[in-house]
Amino acid sequence: MSVGTLTKKILQAALFYEIWDAMKVTFKHMLHKPITFQYPREQRTLPDTHRGALGLLRYDDGRERCVGCDLCEAACPSRCIKVISLEDAERPLQRYASEFYIDITKCVFCGYCVEACPVNALAMTKVYEFSTHDKRTLLFDKKRLYDIGERHLDDAKKYLYAHNQEKNVEESREYRYYFPQSVIKSTQSTPKHLS
């Protein structure tokens, strides 16, 4: 080792050169605008396409949109939806979901169930804060799904618009598919032997 190199090394050791060299990086970042969000005090603005918790929706008059057709259950790759449907006693030919469960612990938030629904009864919201110590509370039942849908109706509708499943115009309010109207009275007379 030459005398020059040795002198340089001694000087660097005496002046703590490596420490100052490393501090340069720290000082440089002190002048940058921080990009870290102080969650939960600060929260990101989520896009309308965000796939958060699922919710069930009602029509404007308060009727449940879901007709219990099970298509969402069939489309779900995680097998985490369970629909039990019954015929509506007051409206013959029409069915409704008497029970509806989504096991959110298994959901992969793919959105296939929303796409499969012919009446846009399901939508995703921007809700993502449902961590819990008891995973049994993550089996969302019908009441909880309608609660989410009601509380986050604007976000749910924006999700449907953003995914081009429903248009944000007046004439598309009545949705893509109409289930048969109720049979008010029979078109055939009752056979004699039955009357």
Catalog residues that contact ligand SF4 under the rule CB under 6 A.
66-72, 75-78, 80-81, 83, 97, 102, 107-113, 116-117, 119, 121-122
Residue 54 beta carbon to ligand SF4: minimum distance, rounded to whole angstroms: 6
Minimum CB distance to ligand SF4, residue 64 (Å) = 9
- Least Å distance, CB 92 to ligand SF4, is 18
The smaller minimum CB distance to ligand SF4, of residues 67 and 160, is found at: 67
The smaller minimum CB distance to ligand SF4, of residues 96 and 161, is found at 96
Closer residue to ligand SF4, CB minimum distance, 12 or 128: 128
Question: Which is closer to ligand SF4, CB of 85 or CB of 161?
Answer: 85
Shortest separation between residue 97's beta carbon and ligand SF4, angstroms: 5
Q: DSSP letters along the chain, please? A: --HHHHHHHHHHHHTTHHHHHHHHHHHHHHTSPP----TTTS-PPPPTT----EEE-B-TTS-B------HHHHH-TT--EEEEEEE-TTSTT-EEEEEEEEETTT-----HHHHH-TT--EEE-S------S-GGGGEE-HHHHHHHHHHTHHHHHHHHHHTTSS-SSGGGTT-S--PPPP--S-SSPPPGGG-
